[in-house]
């Protein structure tokens, strides 16, 4: 089909496609073609008056014919869309219903705590290391100076795998690591001192799943080994950490403790984050909360990694980000941090809709 006028012919493909337009497109196309200010056909009509008489007649008639065709096509398309909408409404679809809110993501509270802790240690020259969650008895216990009959190695305390270890008999059975301390061994065997690393990761124990226990939880290990390192470095670094993480005025205290792989060993408490030392049910009235175990790396551990214990000393710590998240946010039940219930996570993260 042709109108006999090239510039009008250019509009013919658009006339053909009116029958494919959606409701919003239809409205836009009507304005683009017939709109009073800048419609293409409106412009053509305005041009009619400027033409010589005999051309004016022919061109004017062609423009008016095309305009009528567009008007008919728009009306027909509108009828079809209206009919479709009525059919949908009758089928029970309510297109006027409000849309669904957008899902807002946020960091899990434990992820946030891990990132903050790692950032603080990065700021004082530590790097990040990781190790496998499936370990051998040698890395998890024996190299860390646990005696071979230590109760922590009992089936009741530790989750063993059926598969034999790839590394041979001397490595012992395969298990899910019970702490991140085996990565101390892996780090020292791979890179000789000076070493300053933090090691985040999941650990596993044969524990109940109740408000204060879980068979899977996170730890962050720290390890510093160099010449001339003393307990003063350990205390100063961990107090710096507590001040950065919990606030500059936070009180801390060290209590003597025992771990086979550190000597001397200690536990560090910070003042209760809920009552600030006054004593409350969360801190069992003591005003203190235990956040980590630590100590000077035992010389036998250094020797097990072929590090000269006469020349090098070091310190290590291990803390639990799940526990620390509970202390910081006042969360009473560790299971809330592991079950993935969106109602809880949205409230902690402040993204509730």
Whole-angstrom distance, CA of residue 207 vs CA of residue 157: 7
Nearer residue to ligand PHE within complex by CB, 77 or 177: 177
Contact flags string 205-234 toward ligand PHE, x per CB under 6 A: ----------------x-------------
2-5's contacts with Cβ under 8 Å and 24+ in sequence apart are 3/62, 3/65, 3/66, 4/58, 4/62, 5/59, 5/62
Q: CA dist 110 to 73, 177, 330, Å?
A: 61, 19, 13
CB of 109 to ligand PHE, least distance (A): 21
CB of 277 to ligand PHE, least distance (A): 25
Does residue 312 contact residue 193 with C-beta atoms inside 8 Å?
A: yes
User: Which run of H or of E encompasses 293?
Assistant: strand 288-297
Cβ neighbors of 239 (< 8 A, separation 6 or more) are 252
Nearer residue to ligand PHE within complex by CB, 172 or 318: 318
From the CA atom positions of the chain, what is the Rg in Å? Answer: 37
Does residue 223 contact residue 321 with C-beta atoms inside 8 Å?
A: no
- Which of 177, 179, 186, 196 touches ligand PHE by CB under 6 A? 179
CB of 293 to ligand PHE, least distance (A): 3
**With CB under 6 A as the contact rule, which of the stretches 8-16, 42-50, 119-127, 312-320 interacts with ligand PHE?**
312-320
Contact flags string 290-309 toward ligand PHE, x per CB under 6 A: ---xxx--------------
Nearer residue to ligand PHE within complex by CB, 181 or 304: 181
**With CB under 6 A as the contact rule, which of the stretches 63-71, 158-166, 310-318, 328-336 interacts with ligand PHE?**
310-318
CB of 278 to ligand PHE, least distance (A): 28
Whole-angstrom distance, CA of residue 57 vs CA of residue 65: 12
- Which of 109, 131, 165, 318 touches ligand PHE by CB under 6 A? 318
Whole-angstrom distance, CA of residue 69 vs CA of residue 209: 74
* Residue whose beta carbon is closest to ligand PHE: 318
CB of 352 to ligand PHE, least distance (A): 35
CB of 353 to ligand PHE, least distance (A): 39
Helix boundaries (H) for 171-292: 182-190, 231-246
Nearer residue to ligand PHE within complex by CB, 221 or 269: 221
Whole-angstrom distance, CA of residue 26 vs CA of residue 140: 70
Nearer residue to ligand PHE within complex by CB, 29 or 221: 221
- The HSE-up count of residue 301 (CA atoms within 13 Å, CB side) is 30
317 sits near ligand PHE (criterion: CB under 6 A): yes
Q: What is the DSSP letter of 141?
A: T
CB of 295 to ligand PHE, least distance (A): 5
Q: Give the footprint of ligand PHE on residues 237-266 (CB under 6 A).
A: 259, 262
CB of 184 to ligand PHE, least distance (A): 7
Whole-angstrom distance, CA of residue 245 vs CA of residue 241: 6
CB of 251 to ligand PHE, least distance (A): 21
Nearer residue to ligand PHE within complex by CB, 77 or 179: 179
**How many CB atoms sit inside 10 A of residue 110's CB?**
20
Interface size with ligand PHE, residues (CB under 6 A) = 11
Provide the 3-class DSSP secondary structure of residue 191.
Answer: coil
Interface positions with ligand PHE (CB under 6 A): 179, 181, 221, 259, 262, 293-295, 316-318
């Amino acid at each position: 089909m042709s109108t006999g006028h090239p510039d009008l012919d250019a509009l013919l493909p658009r006339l053909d496609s009116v029958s494919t337009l959606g409701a919003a497109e239809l409205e836009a196309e009507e304005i683009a073609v017939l709109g009073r200010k800048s419609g293409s056909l409106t412009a053509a009509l305005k041009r009619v008056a400027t033409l010589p008489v005999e051309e004016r007649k022919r061109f004017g008639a062609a423009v008016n014919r095309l305009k009528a065709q567009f008007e008919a096509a728009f009306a027909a398309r509108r009828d079809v869309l209206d009919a479709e909408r009525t059919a949908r409404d009758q089928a029970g679809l309510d297109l006027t219903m409000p849309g669904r809110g957008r899902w807002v993501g946020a960091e899990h509270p434990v992820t946030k705590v891990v990132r903050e802790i790692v950032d603080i240690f990065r700021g004082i020259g530590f790097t990040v290391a990781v190790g496998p969650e499936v370990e051998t008895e040698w890395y998890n216990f024996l190299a860390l100076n646990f005696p071979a009959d230590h109760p922590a190695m009992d089936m009741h305390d530790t989750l063993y795998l059926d598969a034999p270890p790839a590394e041979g008999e001397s490595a012992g059975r395969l298990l899910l690591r019970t702490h991140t301390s085996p990565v101390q061994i892996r780090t020292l065997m791979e890179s000789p001192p000076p070493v300053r690393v933090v090691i985040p990761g999941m650990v596993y124990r044969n524990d109940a799943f109740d408000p204060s226990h879980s068979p899977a939880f996170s730890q962050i290990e720290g390890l510093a080994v160099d010449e001339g390192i003393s307990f003063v470095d350990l205390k100063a670094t961990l107090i710096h950490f507590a001040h950065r993480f919990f606030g500059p005025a936070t009180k801390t205290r060290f209590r003597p403790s025992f771990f086979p792989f550190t000597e001397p060993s200690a536990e560090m408490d910070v003042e209760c984050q809920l009552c600030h030392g006054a004593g409350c049910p969360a801190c069992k009235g003591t005003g203190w909360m235990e956040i980590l175990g630590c100590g000077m790396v035992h010389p036998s551990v250094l020797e097990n990694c072929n590090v000269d214990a006469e020349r090098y000393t070091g310190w290590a710590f291990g803390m639990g980000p799940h526990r620390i998240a509970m202390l910081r946010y006042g969360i009473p039940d560790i299971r809330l941090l592991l079950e993935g219930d969106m109602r809880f996570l949205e409230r902690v993260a402040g993204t509730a809709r």
